Amino acid sequence: MVRAGWREFIKTRLQATSNFHAVGIEFSASGIQILILKRAPQGVAVHSCHSLAYEGWETALSTLVESQKLHFTPTFVSIHPNLYQLFQLERPRVEDSEMRQALSWTAADVLGHEQPMAIDYFDMPVQTSGANKVNVVAVTQSHIQSICDGLKSAQLSLKKISVAELDLLHLIDTNEQACLIIFQRHGGELSLVIAKQGCIYFIRRLRGYENLSTLTEQALNLGVIEELSVEIQRSLDYYESQLRQAPVRLAKVIVESRDANALERSLEKALLMPVENIMATLNHTFPCDSDFYAVSLSAAMTQERGRIDLPSQARAGAV
């Protein structure tokens, strides 16, 4: 028995290598997006992109891993905003090692879910005067378990499960001054994130703009951009006045839109600041629709960029 055990151990160790750098997987509301990074002379490069339906995804993923020879590749998962809840709670007066457990009791009262939830949290670098809150991320435990089981069955090496709004920081230059990230998946809520030096300072979700991706430039300019810019300006004002931060001078957009350029032009005119497409600023050549795979790329870039959050965010998104 001992000899057999050692043989199995050695076999596993010999297998546990990959010719690829990393795999990023986004579990979105409509399906699963997968992006594979390969090693390149100047760092990493996008190898290929793949999309899977939820029905039978475990079998389809195993088939993909086999065909691409992805066995044991470091894999980073990002969860779509529609599949998790994000809210603030008062920070419990407990040690950091007990924080998650303490928050789970308080979160249960807020969520009111009958099914068990996986809870984690992340801090903001600054808060309003007198506030002591944490941002809580809640995902159903069954969903997390399904992801873990599916990746294990496919023989991928799961390294981290995070959430989209945090993962997108991997696509932002950490040396930049504060920038506004405008993020939306097709049919989902619009997320506003203000990030600086690899940290989230402000995060807000806006309802009522779920059809933004379907609008033409003419439709955008019939009041939609004006209304959106008012909401954005309120968020910027809060960041500057309540959090006492310098004004934001740059916006970056990742929105699935029928006319992304028109959206960027309209926002730039309304916000009176440069507006860039995040994906257009990256030094990557994409064999696929780059905006559609932005989140899976940002997840895969965890391996390339390392953890970019500050010590106060050491737990960020690690559900």
3-state SS, residue 185:
coil
pLDDT at 157: 95
Please check whether residue 6 lies inside any domain of the structure: no
Query: Are 193 and 239 contained in the same domain?
Result: yes
DSSP string spanning 95-113?
-HHHHHHHHHHHHHHHH--
Is the pLDDT score of 202 beyond 70?
yes
Contact 247, 236 (CB under 8 A): yes
Which residues form the domain of 90?
A: 85-138
pLDDT class of 313 with cuts at 50, 70, 90: very low
Average pLDDT of every residue of the chain? 84
pLDDT at 241: 94
CATH number at 193 reads 3.30.420.40
Last residue of a domain, one of 138, 158, 183: 138
Query: Are 185 and 252 contained in the same domain?
Result: yes
Task: Give the separation between CA 264 and CA 281, rounded to whole angstroms.
Answer: 14
Query: Are 275 and 193 contained in the same domain?
Result: yes
pLDDT at 78: 96
Please check whether residue 97 lies inside any domain of the structure: yes
Is the pLDDT score of 8 beyond 70?
no
Please check whether residue 183 lies inside any domain of the structure: yes
Query: Are 188 and 103 contained in the same domain?
Result: no
Which DSSP category does 71 fall into? T
CA 154 to chain CA mean position, Å: 22
pLDDT at 286: 65
Burial (0-12, 13-18, 19+ Cβ within 10 Å), 151? buried
> Mean pLDDT across the stretch 156-167?
94
What pTM was estimated for this model as a whole?
Answer: 0.85
Contact 213, 258 (CB under 8 A): yes
Query: Are 193 and 242 contained in the same domain?
Result: yes
Contact 305, 170 (CB under 8 A): yes
Contact 277, 159 (CB under 8 A): no
Which DSSP category does 154 fall into? T
3-state SS, residue 153:
helix
Task: Give the separation between CA 57 and CA 115, rounded to whole angstroms.
Answer: 23
pLDDT at 317: 34
pLDDT at 129: 84
> Mean pLDDT across the stretch 284-309?
71
Q: Which residue has the higher pLDDT, 227 or 279?
A: 227
Q: pLDDT by residue (tens digit) across 220-241?
A: 888 899 999 999 999 999 999 9
Is the pLDDT score of 184 beyond 50?
yes
pLDDT class of 284 with cuts at 50, 70, 90: low
Please check whether residue 129 lies inside any domain of the structure: yes
Please check whether residue 15 lies inside any domain of the structure: no
- Please give the share of the chain, as a percent, with pLDDT higher than 90: 51
Q: pLDDT by residue (tens digit) across 89-146?
A: 999 989 988 998 899 888 888 887 678 889 999 988 998 888 889 999 999 999 999 9
Query: Are 189 and 244 contained in the same domain?
Result: yes
Task: Give the separation between CA 107 and CA 113, rounded to whole angstroms.
Answer: 10
Please check whether residue 289 lies inside any domain of the structure: no
Please check whether residue 107 lies inside any domain of the structure: yes
> Mean pLDDT across the stretch 151-164?
95
- Count how many domains the chain has: 2
Instruction: Provide the residue type at 24 as one letter.
Output: G
Query: Are 185 and 243 contained in the same domain?
Result: yes
Least confident of 24-28, 112-116, 197-201: 112-116
Query: Are 185 and 251 contained in the same domain?
Result: yes
For 300, half-sphere exposure in the C-beta direction (CA atoms, 13 angstrom radius) is: 26
pLDDT at 256: 78
Say if strands 74-79 and 157-163 run parallel, antiparallel, or are unpaired: parallel
Q: How many CB atoms lie within 10 A of CB 183?
A: 22
Please check whether residue 34 lies inside any domain of the structure: no
